[in-house]
Amino acid sequence: MRTRRAFHLLIFAAAVATLVTAPATLTAQAPAVKVGATDIGGVVTSAHGPEAGVWVIARTDDLPTRYTKIVVTDDAGRYLIPDLPADATYTVWSRGYGLVDGPQVHVTRGKLVNLRATLAPNPTAAAQYYPAEYWFSLLKIPDASDFPGTGPKGNGIGTEIKNQQMWIDQVKTDGCETCHQLGNKYTRTLPTAFGTFPNHAAVWQRRIQSGQAGPIMTATGARLGPRLFENFADWTDRIAGGEIPSTQPARPAGIERNIVITEWDWSSPTTYMHDEISTDKRNPRLNAYGKIYGSSEESSDFMPVLDPIRNSTSWVKVPVLDPNTPSFDFLGAERPLMPSAFWGNQRIWSSQTIVHNPMMDENGRVWMTARIRPEDDPAYCKAGSSLESAQVFPQTTSGRQSAVYDPKTNEFKLANLCFGTHHLYLTSDGKDTMWYTGSRDVAGWLDTKAFLRTGDASTAQGWTPFIVDTAGTGKRTATWTEPGTPLDPAKDARIHGNFYGAGISAVDGSVWGSVVSYPGEILRVVPGSDPPHTALTEIYELPATDSRAPVHGFSPRGMDIDSHGVVWAPLASGHLASFDRRKCKGPLNGPSAVTGQQCPEGWTLYPLPGPQFKGLKESGSAEAPYFTWVDRFNTVGLGKDVPFATANLGEGAYALVNGKFVTFRVPYPLGFFAKNVDGRIDDPKAGWKGRGMWTTFGSRAPFHMETGKGTHPIVLHMQIRPNPLAD
C-alpha cells in the first residue's frame, strides 16, 4: 500500500507541476483582463502561480430559473465570463484538475474578480473531480476465457452472454448505462440506506431493485448473471479501500479553452429529460433565439420549455387521443420493486404519452413520438384494410404513435400511426416526410404536409418491411422468405430491423438506421417509387470479430449521417465509428447480403478519449456514447460535417475534427449524461455569439449528480469563441 501511494503521489506531483508552473512565466507579459459592464473577469492563481486550463463557474438563483455560465482560463490564468444576463448576484468559483474547489465569492457583473485556487492536498482529493469514466474504468471485466456464460449454477455469467464483448456491451449503453451514468460519486460508493447485508455483492443486488427503474436494472442484472454483482462489489470495495484512477484527465488545451457553457435549470427534480430540440435540423437558422423544447418520456406528460432570452421555463401538457390510454405506472413496468434511497416508495414517474423524441419542422412546429391510445391498432392498420401498406404487411399493435405541437396556436394534432415509434426524422422531399424508428419489423413514415392539411393520419402514413435483395435482381420480389427460414434463390428475404437512431442521406434520399444489438448493424433502406412494394434494405454488420477488419468494434446506438452519406455511430466498444458505403468492394446483393458481412472495408473506428477498462488490452475506452450528431452546417464553428458523440461518462461531448477529438467538458455539476445534441445558428453575422450546440442532462437519475436530491435537469448551450478572453 505504501509503494502504491508513493507512486500516486509522485504522479500527482508531476501532473500538478506540469499544469500550474508552466504559465507562471507568462504573467509579466499578459495584459490585464478587460471587463465590460455585463462581464465578470480576472485571474485565477494558486500557491504555484497562475492556473491555466481551469474552469471558472458563475451561478445565480436570482433569475426566473437557476442560471450558470462556465469558461476556461487562458495560458496566464486569466478568464472572462461574458454577457451575464442581469444585475444579479453571482456565486463564482474555480474548479480544475489537480485542484479542489476554490473559495466561492459573491459578486455582481461588471467586476474584476481575482480568484484563489486551492491545490489538491493529495491524489485522492484531486480524483474526486475526474470524469466518471476514469472511475468506471477501474471495473474489472471477466477474462475472455470465462465465456460463454454457463448460468448462476455455473460460472455466474448469464447463458445469453456468449463472449466478453457482449458482457461489456451490457454493462455499457445497452444495459447498465442505458439510463444513467456509472462512475460518478454516488454509483462508485455504496449507500447505507439499504440496511445490512452479508456482503457487498448482495448490496449491489438490492441497489438495482431501487426506485422506478428497478425492473429495467433487475432485468439487465438477470441477463448478465450474479457474477455482475461480484464484479461491481469488487469495484466499489477497491475504491473504498483507497484505489483511485491510475491516469489523470488533461486540463482543457487549445481550442478547448475557448468553450463557453451556459446552463439553465428546467423541468422538475422528479422528472428526467430524454431529448431537447432547438431548431429544424435541416435548417439550423430556424427558430433563432427561440424557445427550447424537451421530452420527459416515462416521467411526465408535460413538455418542458425554456425561453433562453427571458431565462424562464414553462410546461406544455401533451394530450392523448383516447382517455383510456394507460399511464406508465398503471402498466406496472416501472413501479418500485424496492424503496429508493432518495424517494422511498414514492412513484416519481407517471405518464400516458411517454414522449421520447422531439423534432422541429420548417414552420417551428414541434413533432414528437408520443403514445396517444392503447396499443391495439385501428382497423385500417390490419389485414383487410384498404391501405396499401396494410395489404403488404398488416400491423396489429403499436406502443407509441406521434403528435405535433404548434407554438403559434398552442394546439396539438395527434397522428394515429399503425407502427411503433421511438425517434423521428424529417426529409427534404417536398412532402416533409417524417420517418420513424421503433418498430421491430417495419420502417414507417408520415407525409406531414398531407396530415396537417387533412388531419387524417390513416391516408398520410405508410410502412414497409425490411426486405433484402437476396435474389440479386436489383428489385424486390413479390414474395419473400421469413426470418429464420432457408433462403429461396427466387425470393428476397425479410429480416427483423428495429431502427433505433436514423438519418436521411442528402445524397440519394436513402434512409439509414442503427440496430441496437450485438454485434449490431446499420441498415440502409432505399424506398423506391412505391415504398410498400419497392423498398429494399441493405444490412452492414459491425466488425466485432471480423479478421478482415484492423480494429474491432461492436454495439451501436444513436447514429447520424453527414452530407456525403457517411454514417456515424457510437459503439459500446469505446469507439466512434463511420461507415462509408462508397468504400464497399464486393456485391451488395445476392444470398450473402443477408449476413451483413459484405463490406468490412466500409467501417472506420476511432478510439474515444479516456482510459480503457482495468486489464483490458483491446482498442477503445471505458466510454460508451449514447448518441451521435453530425454538424452538417457548421453551427458550432468547428467545420462542416463534424461528428459529435455524447460523452456520457466523460462529462460532456466529443467532436472529431481532422481525426482528433475535441472535448467539450461540462465540469459542473458533475454527472453530465446526454442522450442527444443539436445545433442552432441564431445570427450568422454575430460571430461566435450567434451560434452553438444545445443539449440537456438526459439522466434518469438527476439526483445522482453532485448537487444531489432536488437537482433539476439542465439545458446547456455550448459555444466556441475565438480565444478565452473574447467578449
Higher pLDDT, residue 242 or 195: 242
* Weakest mean pLDDT among 332-336, 572-576, 717-721: 332-336
Which DSSP letter does residue 711 get?
P
Report how far residue 306's alpha carbon sits from residue 665's, in angstroms, rounded to the nearest whole number.
22
pLDDT of residue 332: 52
Q: Where are the beta strands (DSSP E) in 530-622?
A: 536-541, 560-561, 567-571, 575-579, 603-607
Report how far residue 108's alpha carbon sits from residue 607's, in angstroms, rounded to the nearest whole number.
43
Mean per-residue pLDDT for 222-237? 97
Report how far residue 335's alpha carbon sits from residue 343's, in angstroms, rounded to the nearest whole number.
12
Residue 170 clears pLDDT 50, i.e. is over it = yes
Cell numbers standing for residue 632:
452538417
pLDDT of residue 335: 66
Task: Indicate the average pLDDT of the chain.
Answer: 93
Q: What is the pLDDT of residues 95-140, one digit of tens each?
A: 999 999 999 999 999 999 999 999 999 999 999 999 999 999 999 9
Domain 2-126 has CATH 1.10.287.3510: no
Residue 722 clears pLDDT 50, i.e. is over it = yes
Mean per-residue pLDDT for 382-390? 97
Kindly indicate the confidence band of residue 659, based on its pLDDT and cuts at 50, 70 and 90. very high
Nearest residue to 577 (alpha-carbon basis) of 595, 613, 602, 609: 602
Report how far residue 450's alpha carbon sits from residue 175's, in angstroms, rounded to the nearest whole number.
39
Instruction: Classify 50 as helix, strand or coil.
Output: strand
The pTM for the full model equals 0.94
Give the rounded percent of residues in the chain with a pLDDT score beyond 90. 89
For residues 502 and 489, the answer to whether their CB atoms sit within 8 Å is no
pLDDT of residue 87: 85
Residue 579 clears pLDDT 70, i.e. is over it = yes
Q: What is the pLDDT of residues 282-303, one digit of tens each?
A: 999 999 999 999 999 999 999 9
Kindly indicate the confidence band of residue 329, based on its pLDDT and cuts at 50, 70 and 90. low
pLDDT of residue 6: 44
Report how far residue 171's alpha carbon sits from residue 288's, in angstroms, rounded to the nearest whole number.
40
Per residue in 677-708, is it b (16+ CB within 10 Å) or e — as a string?
bbbbbbeeeeebebbbbbbbbbbbbbbbbebe
Residue 509 clears pLDDT 70, i.e. is over it = yes
Kindly indicate the confidence band of residue 472, based on its pLDDT and cuts at 50, 70 and 90. very high
Kindly indicate the confidence band of residue 19, based on its pLDDT and cuts at 50, 70 and 90. very low
Contacts of 712 by beta carbon, 8 Å cutoff, 6+ apart:
66, 265, 266, 267, 268, 269, 702
In residues, how long is the chain?
A: 727
Residue 5 clears pLDDT 50, i.e. is over it = no
Annotated domain spans of the chain:
2-126, 133-240
Mean per-residue pLDDT for 676-696? 97
Number of Cβ within a 10 Å radius of residue 569: 31
pLDDT of residue 194: 87
Mean per-residue pLDDT for 197-205? 95
pLDDT of residue 11: 43
Q: What is the pLDDT of residues 339-349, one digit of tens each?
A: 999 999 988 99
Cα angle 139, 145, 151; round to 5: 80
Q: Where are the beta strands (DSSP E) in 532-582?
A: 536-541, 560-561, 567-571, 575-579
Report how far residue 608's alpha carbon sits from residue 579's, in angstroms, rounded to the nearest whole number.
16
pLDDT of residue 586: 84
Q: What is the pLDDT of residues 514-533, one digit of tens each?
A: 999 999 999 999 999 999 99
Residue 94 clears pLDDT 70, i.e. is over it = yes
Backbone angle region of 139, left / alpha / beta, with phi > 0 → left and psi within -120 to 50 → alpha: beta
Kindly indicate the confidence band of residue 23, based on its pLDDT and cuts at 50, 70 and 90. very low
Kindly indicate the confidence band of residue 21, based on its pLDDT and cuts at 50, 70 and 90. very low
Report how far residue 588's alpha carbon sits from residue 569's, in angstroms, rounded to the nearest whole number.
21
Kindly indicate the confidence band of residue 29, based on its pLDDT and cuts at 50, 70 and 90. low
Per residue in 478-487, is it b (16+ CB within 10 Å) or e — as a string?
eebbeeeeeb
Cell numbers standing for residue 597:
458481412
Give the rounded percent of residues in the chain with a pLDDT score beyond 70. 95
DSSP string, 662-697: EEEE--SSS----S-EEEEES-TTSGGGGEEEEEE-
